[in-house]
C-alpha cells in the first residue's frame, strides 16, 4: 500500500494534523457548575465591594458641595484639587503627624510586648492556656467598652490613677487632658488591647524554631540572648513580617480609642487621619473625605512595601 505523503505538492512543508475542537462534556458541565456557584459571590463583590471602592475613587476627584441639587448628575469635577488642598491643609498635616506618631510608637511597642509575652509563655508548662486566654481577652472585648473603662480610670477627677496617686501624695495630672501625654496614653492603651493577637501568632512561630540548633548552641556555650538573637529571631522573620504588617495597618487606621476617650482632643492632639476623614464625611465634604481616605490607602501600601523590604527572608 502506498504511503500517504504529509508534504503538499510544491511547498516542501509538512502538513500538521488539525487539532480536534471537541470539548469533553464532563469538563464543560463542571465549568458551568463552578461559574453558577461562584456567581452569587461575584455579584455581591461587584455590588458591595468593587462598586463602592470605584465610586469613592471617582468621588475623590469631585466637589459634591458645588453640585446643583436640581441636577444631581451634573457633578463638578475638580481633578486633583482635593488632593492639592489636603497637602496644604494645616489640620490634615497635624493629624498626619499624629498618625505617624501612633505608628512609630505603637507598632514597635506592641510587637516587643507581644514577643516578650510569647517567649515567656512558651516556657510555661502549667496554666499556659489560662494565660493565653487572659492575654487575648482584651482583643475580643468591645473596643467601646474598653475605651470607656480606661477613660474613667485615667480621668483627672475621680479616676483610679489620680486617686491612687493622691493616696501616696503624688499629684498626677489628667493624662487625657494633656496635649503632651494624651497621645502616648492612647498608644499604651492600644498596646494593652492589641498585643494578645500578636502573642498568639508569635507563640505559633516559636514552635517552628529548631530545638536541635538551640540545644547545640547552648552546648557550645552561647548565652540565652545569643541564642535568641541568632537562631530564634531569624527563624521568626516571616512571623515578624506578618505581625508588623497587620499591626501597622491597624495603627494607621487608629480611630475608636480617640473617638471615645478624647474626641480627638485636646487641641486635636489625638485626632488621626481616619478621625479627620470621619469628620469630613459628617460635614458633607464627601470628595475631600474620599481623597483623604485614598491618601491613607497609599500610606498603607507604602508602609507594607517597606516592611516587606526590611523583614523579608534573606539568603
* 70-116 per-position pLDDT tens digit: 665 667 788 888 899 999 999 999 999 999 999 999 999 999 999 99
Q: Identify whether 198 is part of a domain.
A: yes
270, 293: one domain:
yes
Host domain of residue 241: 83-311
Number of neighbouring beta carbons within 10 Å of residue 294: 20
Which pLDDT band holds residue 312 (cuts at 50, 70, 90)? confident
* Partner residues linked to 62 by β-bridges: 77
* Domain-terminating residue out of 77, 105, 134: 77
In this prediction, residue 94 carries a pLDDT of 94
Q: Identify whether 260 is part of a domain.
A: yes
* Domain-terminating residue out of 43, 61, 77: 77
Question: pTM of the prediction?
Answer: 0.80
167, 145: one domain:
yes
- The CATH number given to whatever domain includes residue 193 is 1.10.3720.10
The grid cell for 224 is 540565652
Task: For residue 212, give the H/E element and its range.
Answer: helix 211-219
36, 98: one domain:
no
302, 195: one domain:
yes
* 224-236 per-position pLDDT tens digit: 888 888 888 888 8
Across 265-277, average pLDDT: 91
Q: Identify whether 127 is part of a domain.
A: yes
Q: Identify whether 10 is part of a domain.
A: no
Number of neighbouring beta carbons within 10 Å of residue 235: 17
68, 95: one domain:
no
56, 117: one domain:
no
42, 173: one domain:
no
Percent share of the chain, pLDDT over 90? 27
The CA angle 98-101-203, to the nearest 5 degrees, is 130
38, 154: one domain:
no
3-state secondary structure of 174: coil
Across 49-56, average pLDDT: 88
Is pLDDT at 63 greater than 60 in this prediction?
yes
Q: Identify whether 188 is part of a domain.
A: yes
159, 55: one domain:
no
Q: Which of 18-27, 92-101, 179-188, 246-255 has the lowest mean pLDDT?
A: 18-27
Looking at 87-179, list the stretches that DSSP marks H as alpha helix, in order from N- to C-terminal side.
90-122, 128-140, 143-154, 160-167
Is pLDDT at 11 greater than 80 in this prediction?
no
In this prediction, residue 266 carries a pLDDT of 87
- Whole-angstrom CA distances from 141 to 17, 135, 144 are 68, 11, 9
212, 147: one domain:
yes
Tally the domains of the chain. 2
Where does the chain show beta strands of DSSP type E?
62-63, 76-77
146, 173: one domain:
yes
Q: Is 31 left (phi over 0), alpha (psi -120 to 50) or beta?
A: alpha
* 148-184 per-position pLDDT tens digit: 888 888 877 767 777 777 787 777 777 888 888 889 9
68, 174: one domain:
no
Q: b/e string for 268-277 if b means 16 or more Cβ within 10 A?
A: bbbbbbbbbb
* Domain-terminating residue out of 44, 77, 110: 77
Amino acid at each position: 500500500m502506498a504511503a500517504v505523503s504529509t508534504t503538499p505538492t510544491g511547498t516542501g512543508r509538512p502538513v500538521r494534523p488539525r487539532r480536534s475542537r471537541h470539548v469533553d462534556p464532563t469538563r464543560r458541565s463542571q465549568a458551568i457548575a463552578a461559574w453558577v456557584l461562584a456567581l452569587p459571590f461575584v455579584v455581591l463583590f461587584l455590588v458591595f465591594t468593587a462598586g463602592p471602592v470605584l465610586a469613592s475613587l471617582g468621588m475623590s476627584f469631585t466637589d459634591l458641595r458645588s453640585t446643583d441639587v436640581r441636577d444631581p448628575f451634573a457633578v463638578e469635577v475638580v481633578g486633583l484639587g482635593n488632593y492639592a488642598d489636603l497637602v496644604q491643609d494645616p489640620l490634615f498635616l497635624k493629624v498626619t503627624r499624629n498618625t505617624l506618631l501612633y505608628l512609630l510608637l505603637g507598632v514597635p511597642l506592641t510587637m516587643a510586648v507581644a514577643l516578650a509575652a510569647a517567649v515567656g509563655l512558651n516556657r510555661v508548662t502549667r496554666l499556659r492556656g489560662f494565660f493565653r486566654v487572659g492575654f487575648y481577652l482584651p482583643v475580643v472585648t468591645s473596643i467601646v467598652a474598653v475605651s470607656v473603662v480606661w477613660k474613667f480610670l485615667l480621668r483627672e477627677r475621680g479616676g483610679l490613677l489620680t486617686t491612687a496617686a493622691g493616696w501616696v501624695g503624688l499629684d498626677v495630672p489628667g493624662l487625657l487632658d494633656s496635649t503632651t501625654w494624651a497621645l502616648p496614653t492612647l498608644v499604651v492603651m492600644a498596646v494593652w488591647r492589641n498585643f494578645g493577637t500578636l502573642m498568639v501568632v508569635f507563640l505559633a512561630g516559636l514552635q517552628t524554631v529548631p530545638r536541635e540548633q538551640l540545644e547545640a548552641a547552648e552546648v557550645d556555650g552561647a548565652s540565652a540572648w545569643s541564642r535568641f538573637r541568632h537562631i530564634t529571631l531569624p527563624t521568626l522573620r516571616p512571623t515578624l513580617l506578618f505581625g508588623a504588617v497587620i499591626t501597622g495597618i491597624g495603627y494607621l487606621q487608629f480611630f475608636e480609642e480617640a473617638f471615645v476617650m478624647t474626641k480627638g482632643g485636646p487641641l486635636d492632639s489625638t485626632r488621626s487621619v481616619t478621625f479627620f476623614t470621619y469628620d469630613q464625611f459628617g460635614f458633607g465634604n464627601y470628595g475631600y473625605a474620599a481623597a483623604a481616605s485614598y491618601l491613607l490607602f497609599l500610606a498603607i501600601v507604602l508602609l507594607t512595601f517597606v516592611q516587606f523590604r526590611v523583614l523579608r527572608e534573606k539568603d
